[in-house]
């Protein structure tokens, strides 16, 4: 038996296992995490990542306002600094604001001080833009390992992930109807749905997300669902 080949195979399995563990949405080794909520009520949370990103964030806000839906926006600190007026529009419309790091880098294999800085700088930017109350956190790319959960635990921060993201992904330009069909196929009471009004990769146009938002609200409302901000969804049952 070739020892070298066994070593390579073992290393490959280890790398794959670490990669899986770094992005699993419903578990982290310490601290609090919520990927969905245990509830019988037909309520879900609609969340948006990577903004603010005018004009698409404003178009999403308009789509939400047309149906009286409140959502949660996980914002990137650098974008907040660029577009504070858009953040104020989100706040004024009654939506919830979350922290999605300052630079949108993968917060794995990073020093605790850097991770804390990414979170704190974004909190400060959000406060300067008028955000009040508790600020939930979501890791970029939903990536974590050991250090990020530890830092969040020391800061007593809840990590909000999700249980539904469309495949093919909305951020890769998937048509609105495809995104909506995927969400409707897998949505269940207590789901946390993620869409992307912001852009950190091509294509940068988020018109598909605006239309998908309209379709998701229309079809899920017809199926008896209501939409809640994350903190409201959390109040329905124990996070898991």
| Buried b / exposed e along 206-229 (16+ C-beta atoms within 10 A) | bebbbbbbbbbbeebeeeebebbb
Q: Is 49 a catalytic residue?
A: yes
Q: Is 104 a catalytic residue?
A: no
Catalytic residue among 49, 50, 123, 197: 49
Catalytic residue among 100, 170, 196, 197: 196
CA pair distance 31, 77, nearest whole angstrom: 23
CA pair distance 74, 173, nearest whole angstrom: 20
CA pair distance 160, 200, nearest whole angstrom: 20
SS3 letters for the chain?
CCHHHHHHHHHHHHHHHHHHHHHCCCCCCCCCEECEECCCCCEEEEEEEEECCCCHHHHHHHHHHHCCCCCEEEECHHHHHHCHHHHHHHHHCCCEEEECCCCCCCCCCCCHHHHHHHHHHHHHHHHHCCCCCCCCECCHHHCCCCHHHHHHHHCCCCEECCCECCCCCHHHCCCHHHHHHHHHHHCCCCEEEEEECCCCCCCCCCHHHHHHHHHHHHHHHHCCCEEECHHHHHCCCCEC
**Residues labelled as active-site residues:** 49, 196
């Amino acid at each position: 038996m070739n020892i070298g080949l066994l070593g390579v195979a073992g290393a490959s399995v280890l790398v794959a296992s670490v990669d899986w563990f770094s992005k699993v949405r419903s578990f982290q080794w310490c601290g609090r995490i919520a990927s969905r909520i245990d509830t019988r009520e037909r309520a879900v949370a609609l969340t948006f990542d990577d903004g603010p990103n005018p004009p698409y964030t404003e178009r999403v806000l308009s789509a939400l306002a047309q149906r009286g839906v409140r959502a949660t926006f996980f914002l990137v600190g650098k974008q907040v600094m660029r577009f504070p007026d858009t953040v104020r529009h989100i706040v004024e419309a009654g939506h919830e604001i979350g922290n999605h790091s300052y630079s949108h880098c993968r917060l794995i294999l990073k020093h605790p001080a850097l991770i804390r800085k990414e979170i704190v700088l974004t909190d400060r930017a959000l406060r300067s833009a008028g955000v009040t109350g508790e600020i939930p956190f979501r890791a970029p790319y939903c990536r974590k390992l050991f250090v990020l959960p530890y830092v969040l635990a020391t800061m007593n921060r809840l990590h909000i992930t999700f249980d539904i993201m469309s495949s093919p992904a909305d951020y890769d330009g998937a048509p609105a109807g495809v995104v909506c069909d995927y969400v409707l196929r897998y949505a269940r009471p207590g789901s946390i749905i993620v869409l992307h009004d912001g852009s950190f990769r091509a294509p940068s146009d988020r018109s598909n997300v605006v239309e998908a938002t309209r379709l998701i609200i229309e079809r899920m409302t017809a199926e008896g669902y209501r939409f809640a901000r994350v903190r409201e969804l959390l109040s329905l049952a124990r996070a898991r």
